Amino acid sequence: MKFFNKNLINSEKGNYRSDIDGLRAIAVLAVIGFHIFPEWVKGGFVGVDIFFVISGYLITGIIVDGLEKENFSFLNFYSRRIKRIFPALFLVLAFCLTLGWFLFLPNEYRQLGKHIAGGGAFISNFILWMEAGYFDTASELKPLLHLWSLGIEEQFYIFWPLLLFIVWKIRVGLFAVTLLVTVISFVLNIYGAYTHKVANFYLPITRIWELLIGACLAHLSRIKSEQVQSGQVRSGQVRSGQVRSGIGIILIAISIGVFNKDTRFPGFSALLPTVGAFLIISAGTGTWLNRKILGSRFLVFIGLISYPLYLWHWPLFVFWNSSSDVVLSIKIRILIIGLSILFAFITYQLIENKIRHNPKKSIAAAIFALMLALSGVGLFLYRSHGFPERLPEFIKNLKTPNLTDDSIPELQAWRINKCFLHKTGSKFSETECVDPESIKGPLVFIWGDSHAASLYSGLSKLQEKYEFRVAQFTQSKCPPWIYSNTSELDECESKNQFILEKIKNLIPDTVLLYANWSDNWERQKGEVNLPKSISKLKSYGIKRIILLGPTPQWKVSIQMAIVQSFKLSLKWNQIFPKRIKNTLHQNFLSDWGEAQKNIALQNNIIYISSQEVLCNVDGCLTSITDNENELTFLDSGHLSPFGATFLVESFIDRLFPEPLNRKK
């Protein structure tokens, strides 16, 4: 099969290919679809991988062209990169910095400052890698989350020209070296997909092979171009191009339509979109798909503004989502996409194009200096802890705990790394997770995830008043049920089997089942798996089983919800809101609680509604004492010690079959 057509070369100087802009459009629309409509475009994240192939192809072509003509200049190369990338990025970073001033709490604004500094220095992927974890701030509060891919590209732009230059000077085959580095990176990516998933996703060494697929194509296309110029063209090339472009678009369509957030990625799966992009580019402009579809006016237009469109869409979505009390309906999501396209077009026309084609050599240095200054502002913001002085007294002390830090008091109160486990392969400290028999009173056994672990601080507080014992065995992201399919949940299954054996041996007076039902609760899974757990407990002779229904969940942290309530009220002298309704997940108080209540009734166990305790028609409790330092929740759903104590005390008389003795 003939892989290359004569009009393959595409550079900044000439031989423009509209189909590559069309392919860019497919990539950016896939990413936007994944971000704005994740329930429909589940595999749209592969758009980034398509971008990688395109970048590797174009950049390698530019470098090799310069080396062969002996006019390659590092200064000119990086100057062009700065003028191409920095202007739009600077504008978006400045926009986020400004809007965050008004909308973000100190902790979130501090994190934004770090991301601005990292975005300007093109190390966002390293920062996000170090932040990643179960308790990391929700992605909805990271307006610069998407810059990880830009970091990888820029790191490629730094090391790749240097490597090719050295290889060229020592007269080693450029294609051979490119192929070797591609294979090494791909092998590391396969290994990392099974051993270090987060690092594998964010680090350049395991993603660079995707850019190098494009680089390999650039080398091969130059070889074929020489053959074309010497007249070595065969009639079958156009026909083979049609086949390749068709197969390429099918591979991309499959990856967008079939992949989802649970797909092991990148890994082998990333071959579908990257090889698909390789085949489409290799087909050249003579094929029907490349000429008529990818070369169409609409896709070319989107492709031309794809870079600023990629930069704008996610911050606009995040800021809308975090500042508005309006549900993100389909109309609003379409509006956000429309605004993104408008902002991208304006950025492309008035800023990117003007600067990119400006012949002045000093302009790149000026832009670079501005970006350094903006990164410095971000670093200052990070070191000043989000500049809390900008906020009124009423809200400036609100602080979302950093639940990635095992040493904070809130997590110590959960007995983290002992009776609450959040790391793969960790083990319970059996001597500390069950109160000794020397403590008088009946035994309650807490079984669930991190939300169940948060109950312990409330129970231990009430042990100062009442005589009872506590056993706590809780595991991150593991609801208290027996799974019917354990292929993706081996860690949870093994821990839950251990917990069941513990319950069988202890025979506690009460087993309390609780979890982050808003995250783990799926009607079909719950109806199948939760009754299995209940049946198993009953077979052990457990007489009292309590199912604690879902607590309220906000779309953002409770601290941010309070801030939004304050801003939406437009009353700058407002008192602390003891109850709020804004940003509360819609339908939360009905659907999930009712489903669990029905299961409790069908299985003859006790159901306790957390919602009835914490919420009423005026909203859900933010604090028991009107004190912003004693909030009922730590973040968007984990109970604080104050909230846990209040909730548990509300049903303490139902926790055990007999009234508890009070301590004197």
Residues 583-618 have pLDDT tens digits of: 777 555 556 678 888 889 999 999 999 989 998 888
Confidence of residue 7 (pLDDT cuts 50, 70, 90): very low
In this prediction, residue 596 carries a pLDDT of 84
- pLDDT above 80: residue 83: yes
What are the residues whose beta carbons fall under 8 Å from the beta carbon of 393, sequence distance 6 or more? none
Cβ contact 108:100 at 8 Å? yes
Confidence of residue 228 (pLDDT cuts 50, 70, 90): very low
Say which residue, 397 or 70, is predicted with more confidence.
70
In this prediction, residue 212 carries a pLDDT of 97
- pLDDT above 80: residue 29: yes
In this prediction, residue 5 carries a pLDDT of 41
In this prediction, residue 629 carries a pLDDT of 77
pLDDT per residue as tens digits for the range 104-153: 878 888 999 999 999 999 999 999 888 865 444 456 668 999 999 999 99
In angstroms, rounded to a whole number, what is the distance separating the alpha carbons of residues 398 and 568? 17
Confidence of residue 238 (pLDDT cuts 50, 70, 90): low
Confidence of residue 8 (pLDDT cuts 50, 70, 90): very low
In this prediction, residue 391 carries a pLDDT of 75
In this prediction, residue 6 carries a pLDDT of 38
- Partnered with residue 510 across adjacent β-strands are 444, 544
Distances (CA, A) of 448 to 49, 138, 513, 529, 605: 38, 21, 6, 14, 17
- pLDDT above 90: residue 44: yes
pLDDT per residue as tens digits for the range 134-143: 444 456 668 9
Q: Which of the residue ranges 146-160, 217-231, 236-250 would you say has the lowest mean pLDDT?
A: 217-231
H/E element holding 332?
A: helix 330-347
In this prediction, residue 232 carries a pLDDT of 45
Confidence of residue 205 (pLDDT cuts 50, 70, 90): very high
Percentage of the chain beyond pLDDT 90 is 58
DSSP state of 27: H
In this prediction, residue 140 carries a pLDDT of 64
- pLDDT above 60: residue 635: yes
* pTM tops 0.75: no
Q: What ranges make up the beta strands (E) of 366-489?
A: 420-421, 443-448, 469-475
DSSP string for 30-50: HHHHHHH-TTT-TTGGGHHHH
In this prediction, residue 630 carries a pLDDT of 86
- pLDDT above 80: residue 337: yes
Confidence of residue 489 (pLDDT cuts 50, 70, 90): low
What are the residues whose beta carbons fall under 8 Å from the beta carbon of 433, sequence distance 6 or more? 415, 418, 419, 471, 472, 473
Say which residue, 473 or 567, is predicted with more confidence.
473
In this prediction, residue 359 carries a pLDDT of 82
In this prediction, residue 16 carries a pLDDT of 82
In angstroms, rounded to a whole number, what is the distance separating the alpha carbons of residues 531 and 602? 9
In angstroms, rounded to a whole number, what is the distance separating the alpha carbons of residues 646 and 633? 11
- pLDDT above 90: residue 427: no
Angle, CA of 632, 635 and 640, to the nearest 5°: 35
Other Cβ atoms within 10 Å of 164 Cβ, number: 21
In this prediction, residue 107 carries a pLDDT of 81
Mean confidence (pLDDT) of the chain: 86
What are the residues whose beta carbons fall under 8 Å from the beta carbon of 378, sequence distance 6 or more? 93, 97, 112, 113, 114, 115, 116, 117, 118, 119, 120
Tokens (6 digits) for 458: 């409330």
Confidence of residue 411 (pLDDT cuts 50, 70, 90): confident
